[in-house]
Amino acid sequence: MHTIQIGERWSLNSEHTIKWDIKPDNRLPHHDHIEMSGKRISMIVHYGIDHQGELVLKRGIIWPMLRTIPNDTHASLIQEYGAEIIPEFTINGERVQSEKPYEVTFNGMLAIKSRTDNNLRIEHVLFPTTDYSAAMEKYTVVNESEQSMTIEIAPLTNTITRRGVYGIYVLDVSHDAPSKVTLQPAEKLSFYLTISGRKLLESVPVCSGEEEEAKRAAFVSRIRSSLQLETPDPVLNQMFDFAKLRASESIFATKGGLMHGPGGGNYYAAIWANDQAEYVGPFFPYLGDSAAIEASLNCYRLYRAFMGPDYSPIPSSIIAEGVDIWEGAGDRGDAAMYAYGASLFTLAQGDSSIAQELWPAIQWCLEYCKRKLTTDGVVASDSDELEGRFPTGQANLSTSSLYYGALCAASKLARSLSDETIEEQYSSEAVQLRQAIERYFGATVDGYETYRYYEGNDKLRSWICLPLTMGIMDRQEGTVNALYSPNLWTIDGLATQSGDKTFWDRSTLYGFQATFMAGEVEQSHQYLKAYSRRRLLGDHVPYAVEAFPEGNQRHLSAESALYCRIFTEGVFGIKPTGLDSFTCAPQLPAEGPTMNLRSIRAFGRNFDLHVSRMDNRLHIQVDVHGAALTYECLPGEKIEVVFPARTLGISTDFHHQRCASIHIIGEASEVPS
């Protein structure tokens, strides 16, 4: 493998927890940061150990709906808090000077355990509230001495006022600790510190620390229980669990409705055609979380207001709780992003009323892309999702690939809506576009038979993975070899361009999906395991990141959805073919005889998908509503699951009906049909 293996800092401590054991760690000092979010708050916690072995703890608290001036993309109110809000402890009259951490864990809440020179153990548990505009920090102090200990805890008064769009904002920090307590040996005391923000004329939020901690734990557990991945590799399973959490927690209750936001300290109360419409929207039907579905629908609905009869470009982003837009990078291929994401979301959601509602918007975007076709038959756009950070030419591979994927998905949606004319039109246009992509972008680059990213491009780019993701396998071998070559592959995944140190995880995550879909199972599996160990157990944990050096590897939310889609669409090969049907082309690695996805909420059902290897054949079982549907195929082939109408009774006849209509669809590549 073209990677450099380094020691892991974290370990899997239990089924749902990772742990950094600090005492044996000889690579100090070390600092990291993690983002956690609730409906009205987000917190980026910077934590670590300094040269003296003492605790470093800073909290960047973001209030997305307390808008600042100017009310632009970055107008969420942000306030940083450091050591000044850590309560002052006095033990038997002696002030506690510092904490020396010995363990950090994460299970959806960040826990830091420290000791002092006074034989006091201090445990911090940091988490966002679920529904309030507040972040919380639970303190537990334990007497580790052999004598009684009188602890005095200083009162905390920390109030800041800021001005913004809605007037004056009041930011308060307080705790509910007693002023004085005596602890016997091994006895402990717990209390909560609350950081809250509100508009001046709003009432002060009253949060119960115990209740909010329980609500956060319940949310984490609920997300964990849906769409459960089971593979022989516990690292992949846990990374998937955390990715579901990060993807689904970053949803904010704005005045424009629930909005999924990327996060990262900059991107809240706003939606983007790539992050929300393209990346995370197609994933949420499989997870089935009601808030996530509502946020995705809100995204697709908000964009409809910009789809006019003159076919001017839709904005890249709708910002400031839905009252403004950003389009500073011109047309990034946003209509292709929307059409691709909305088509997949609609199919997987399996709701005919939603399909009817979003269908005109999908058609508008496809017509827009059609009007942007060049004389070479590919789609022109000003840039791509990187917004000019790297050259894209007049027409780039990303926009045309997304348009192709959108045409394929939309043709299936048209069939579900009984619109045969449009189905045939989109299928025909997809065939023509596929041929144009091969003619215009197909090239030998850096010695690999793959794709140039734009006319004149002579360096490999990470987005050469996109044709494979969309089912175009014309240059499969050369593209896979290029992706995993030293030209592009780094310890952190795909470099954006050969010879450059910049990386954006989004292309790496699409790349994994692409190479699994291309049938490169073993190589993809090994690289995925290495990437996942680095992200889950390395120096910056536990999620996929945005980019580096830009943004210092922020934990943007939609990237975690793309990580999950490696498995749903890549490893398990799920592709919607209708509101009640999907194909499955599983890519089962050799080292594991089985893999499962449990509690899949797509297509209006709740079902399990089991894949196992039996005598060089793949055995596939779908458990739905008490019935077991069984299939067999060879590796590289796909089967189609067609659920009966939901009005039918669920009985033994249901099982026999499906078994009678099993069929295999040959090689696992996308062909409009």
Q: How confident is the model at residue 646 (pLDDT cuts 50, 70, 90)?
A: low
CA 584 to chain centre: 22
Closest CA to 297 of 278, 323, 277: 277
Q: How confident is the model at residue 4 (pLDDT cuts 50, 70, 90)?
A: very low
Residue 134, CA distances (Å) to 258, 364, 412 in order: 18, 41, 44
Class of residue 401 by CB neighbours under 10 A (exposed 0-12, middle 13-18, buried 19+)? buried
Q: What is the pLDDT of residues 609-629, one digit of tens each?
A: 999 999 899 999 999 999 999
Q: Report the C-alpha gap between 226 and 540 in whole angstroms.
A: 26
Q: What is the pLDDT of residues 425-453, one digit of tens each?
A: 999 999 999 999 999 999 999 999 999 99
Q: Which CATH class is domain 226-570?
A: mainly alpha
Instruction: Tell me which amino acid residue 665 is.
Output: I
Q: What is the mean pLDDT of residues 522-550?
A: 97
Asked if 129 and 135 touch (Cβ cutoff 8 Å), the reply is yes
Q: What is the mean pLDDT of residues 245-251?
A: 99
Task: Give the dihedral of Cα atoms 254, 260, 263, 267; nearest 10 deg.
Answer: -60
Q: What is the mean pLDDT of residues 387-403?
A: 98
Quick one: pLDDT at residue 670?
A: 42
Quick one: pLDDT at residue 658?
A: 34
| pLDDT above 70: residue 2 | no
Residues of the chain with CATH 1.50.10.10: 226-570
Q: What is the pLDDT of residues 201-228, one digit of tens each?
A: 999 888 999 999 999 999 999 999 999 9
Residue 70 DSSP class: S
Residues of the chain with CATH 2.70.98: 11-219
Q: What is the mean pLDDT of residues 46-53?
A: 97
| pLDDT above 80: residue 659 | no
Q: Report the C-alpha gap between 449 and 437 in whole angstroms.
A: 14
| pLDDT above 90: residue 507 | yes
| pLDDT above 90: residue 277 | yes
Angle, alpha carbons 469-516-427 (nearest 5°): 35
| pLDDT above 60: residue 85 | yes
Residue 591 DSSP class: T
Fold of 11-219: Beta-galactosidase; Chain A, domain 5 (2.70.98)
Q: What is the 3 state secondary structure string of 358-423?
A: HHHHHHHHHHHHHHCECCCCCECCCCCCCCCCCCCCCCCHHHHHHHHHHHHHHHHHHHHCCCHHHH
The model's pTM is 0.95
Q: Provide CB contacts within 8 A for 53, sequence distance 6+.
A: 28, 100
% of the chain exceeding 70 in pLDDT: 95
Q: What is the mean pLDDT of residues 106-116?
A: 98
